[in-house]
Structure 1
Amino acid sequence: MPKPMDKQGIQRLLGSLNYLRGFIPNISEVTEPLRALLKADTFQRIDVQTDHNPLVSIIKKDLHKSSPRLQRLLLRLFKNEIRRVTDVPEKFLYLADTLSRAYLANEYGELEEEVVMLHTIQIQDEAKDQLTMAYEIDPVRQELRNAILKGWAWGNKTAFPIHQGHLGTQKCIDRACQSLYWPRLASEIKETVARCSIYQRHANQQQQEPLIPHDVPELPWNKVGIDIMDFRNKSYLIVVDFYSYYLEIRLISHKKSEDVVATLKSIFAVYGVPVEVIAENMPFSSYAMRNFASEWEFNINTSSSHYAKSNCMAERYVQTTKQLRKKLVPAVTYMLLF
């Protein structure tokens, strides 16, 4: 006998049980829940309790906005009028929680998916033939059918303005997903946006990490900062002591590493060889400079690329020296005129 799904099915089951009442002890108590279902208002109003809070809003949504699995669940519930849906903590949902943990094994294998039909309309045969003919000759349908059966024709490429306006990576991916799909869509869009010079030039920069200050040396000339200053078509080598802030300025003819090394040798010969030198990469990371540091036994620490602030001491004294030079030139000119 199939599972009763309506009032007639329950009446048929009760009739069969009533025929066998002589063999069923306490049949009235056993069949009381079934007989209660035959009352007039039984199938009218029910209360739903769940410990899954999202179901409260899902059940209240329109049926067509739910997934097929939820539609099947809601269609079973909609046989009755749902009076109230409440969210109940799991520890108070005694029966449902017990049955979810102690369920019967499925003895029938995988169940077939149900076909949910929400609306049906009756049409005449002539109208049905017209719809079928229009469906067969529809160009979009034919193109889709050929793509499904034969695969996509990648030979004919179509340009879509995915990166128009030079939007960010996620905006481009969202725009592409609205129109088309291809394998590795997200990764290829990320690579394209990363190569866009206009987007990269105007993109928001990541917040810089705070600058880690240099340790103050214990003795003078133990740690010095070095930089090259360009001023009025001339180059100067700036050397500043981290302990005493003493500044040494030397004019150099060229910025080549050989000239820089020769000038530093003359400075170190007067003030001594430091333990550590802080400088920028070029030309202080060259082979000649590294070889000079190895022979004279001092360490060179160069600043990170595109982050000259790490050589803050020398950079600051370059700025100070330029300001002094600008102020001295008008004063000297005034004295000569006087």
Structure 2
Amino acid sequence: MAISSKSAQRGEARILSTWKRKISALTETLHVRYLPFSPGNGGSEVRRSGAASSRIGRSTFDFPVRRFFLSHPALMPRVFLRGPRAATCVLNAPRVALRGVVKNVRRREYRVLLAAASLFLLGAGTARADDINGPEDSGFTILNNATNVTHWGLGGGVGAEPSPYRGDRARITPIPLFYIDNKWINAFATTLDLKVGQWSGVTFALRGRVGILEGYKASDAPILNGMQNRDSVTFWYGPAIGWHTGFGTLTASYLVAGNKGQQASVEFKKTFELGKWTIEPHTDARWSNDKYVNYYYGVAPSEARAGRPAYNGTATLNTSIGTQIGYRMTQHQSISLDMLVTHLGSGISDSPLVGKRFIPAARLGYLYQFK
């Protein structure tokens, strides 16, 4: 047994000597102390020490192991155990020497995994909460099995904004509020959407919109005297798409109005609910082609005069930003106030008929929901 023990000690010393050469250049703050097997101590002891030395017989040296062991798991040291099977039983040193390191690493990994799992669950919950369609109503409207439930309401409102035409008075516009929503259509105020389908928060519809008070009469302002009247009511139609997420709703549409021109718009809005109050910031950009701009803001050669030169309108982009504030008075009644400001593109503001570049506006409405 003594010969076997001495042989084991010599083998252990050779292995540790090899480790000394390989890892003597590494620097770390974590060190371990090895007390090799001997009949006197009954076995090996491995423990952590801040900058401890490793004592092997009479040879003493310091060596860091944390990075080396983590990078070379196959070279992890083996030490003998107490008892009759000490010569044959082995134990990987990291189970003792790196126990604190492993715990710290595991704690960090668990925190990272917990954070990732929390974000995933939060995102999944938000997606489910904001996903407007479930499995039963996903797809084309005519093919899905969604229950047709109708919600509708009636009300009225008024809008006020200065006219963009030079010398014209502010416009006070009555707004009829008619609301209906079911499986097939969604209508509010002057806009009607025929629902084509919806997929994972994305909706597609055919839109119709009535533009009111877009035109003018020659008697509205001195700058318009001698101009031909422009239609005040225009019917727009075309496709519309919406993307509903937890961050807000993004909608886009492309509408035409016969010989009045074309418009394409992109709008983003986000609703915040605070008890009975709702706050909805919104912004949009609306492109109008040259035919539309020329019809409403152009000056034909036959209409030109001193102070009103001929002007051929060009395509332009109007942008607006605003906030709508709503208050639910009862379960069925609500009021809302929408305030916004619109920046007119150069295709419109360069017209000799136009005297403003920024158009503020406010709209107040009341709605009674029957169902």
TM-score tier by shorter-chain length is under 0.3
Under a length normalisation based on structure 2, what TM-score does the superposition of the two structures give?
0.25
Between Structure 1 and Structure 2, whose CA radius of gyration is higher? 1
Greater strand share, 1 or 2?
Answer: 2
Larger relative helix fraction: 1
Q: Which has the higher contact order (CA 8 A, sep 6+)?
A: 2
